[in-house]
Amino acid sequence: METTRVVQVDAFTDEPLTGNPAGVVPDADGLSAEQMQAIAAEMAVSETAFLRSSPAADYRLRYFTPAREVDLCGHATIGTFAHLRDEGLETGTTTLETNVGVLEIEIDADGTVWMTQDEPTIREVDVGYDRVADALGVDQAALEGASADLPLAVASTGLPMLIVPITYLSDVGGADPDMAAIEALTDAVEATGLYLCTFDTLERESTLHGRMFAPGAGVPEDPVTGTASGAVSAYLDRFDAFDGDLPAELRLEQGHHIDRPGTVRVRLDDAVRVGGRGVTVLDGSLVVPDIEDDDILEA
């Protein structure tokens, strides 16, 4: 019976059992898409990353939620390279092939992993605040109160997110999301997930506090989301949320409302760079599911 090594890495944290858990399969070259999807479903974390060889970069990653493949995942990338560092990968810069192209990964001496995300795209969307409020289970006035300079928009640095600012931290924590309504809303605006955020934070040094919902991708609520953090940071820059005084580094809190707190660091200079640390909490093996036709194995 064939098995494969799997690890679980908690990303955007250096404390075990906090942050965002990611599955990592360190040797996935012989696995088909169907096998990777089955392994991701068995791991039952928001994303599992499958490390493969690449003719275009130093590494190749494919990402699967329990329900489907996604093009990019920030926390699973951070988790993968935190694991590789534990296995002996040296500090410095390396390259990573993903479905959105080749990205640059940098590992600092302190273990922080930085991923350069895709070129930002941002588009305002015409959806009513009443619909968004109903989907999130929040007060419509709290959404409209945050909307003067920050409109509803879909932002992407590799994975499109509907960005929804709201007034207070209590509004974020008090949300009672209707997952079916959120899935319909994100489908309507062609987004993978919805990122609800406020400048009202728990920690003084934090920039934003957020929650991310992606039920259409099989992730009702993601603990700490690297792709959404990159997207919302580019969104804040695009709409001049800092009145021309963009911080050198943004710090985004997430996960506290589901008891998985973590922090994402974002730098906006010549590109969007998302950073964080990771800690391995599980290391073992998993039976590789059989497939019906050997011809679908991928080299």
- Which two three-digit tokens encode residue 135? 């989907």
Is residue 47 part of the annotated active site? The answer reads yes
What is the predicted pLDDT for the residue at 294? 47
Between CA 243 and CA 250 the distance in angstroms is 15
What is the predicted pLDDT for the residue at 192? 96
Picking from 264, 247, 202, the residue whose alpha carbon sits closest to that of residue 78 is 264
Between CA 18 and CA 232 the distance in angstroms is 22
What is the predicted pLDDT for the residue at 293? 53
229 and 264 in contact (C-beta within 8 Å)? yes
Angle between helices 129-136 and 179-188 (to 10 degrees): 140
Options 15, 42, 47, 253, the catalytic residue:
47
Between CA 19 and CA 47 the distance in angstroms is 13
What is the predicted pLDDT for the residue at 292? 67
For the chain, give the DSSP string: --EEEEEEEEES-SSTT-SEEEEEES--TT--HHHHHHHHHHH-SSEEEEEE--SSSSEEEEEE-SS-EES--HHHHHHHHHHHHHTTPPSEEEEEEETTEEEEEEE-TTS-EEEE-PPPEEEE----HHHHHHHHT--HHHHHHT-SS---EEEESSS-EEEEE-S-HHHHHT----HHHHHHHHHHTT-SEEEEEES--SSTT-SEEEEEEEGGGTEEEESS-HHHHHHHHHHHHHTTTTTT---SSEEEEE-GGGT--EEEEEEESSSEEEEE-EEEEEEEEEEPPP-S-GGG---
What count of other Cβ atoms lies within 10 Å of the Cβ of residue 218? 17
How many alpha carbons lie under 13 Å from residue 275 in its C-beta half-sphere?
17
- Predicted confidence pLDDT, tens digits, the chain (299 residues): 899 999 999 999 999 999 999 999 999 999 999 999 999 999 999 999 999 999 999 999 999 999 999 999 999 999 999 999 999 999 999 999 999 999 999 999 999 999 999 999 999 999 999 999 999 999 999 999 998 889 999 999 999 999 999 999 999 999 999 999 999 999 999 999 999 999 999 999 999 999 999 999 999 999 999 999 999 999 999 999 999 999 999 999 999 999 999 999 999 989 999 999 999 999 999 999 987 654 444 43
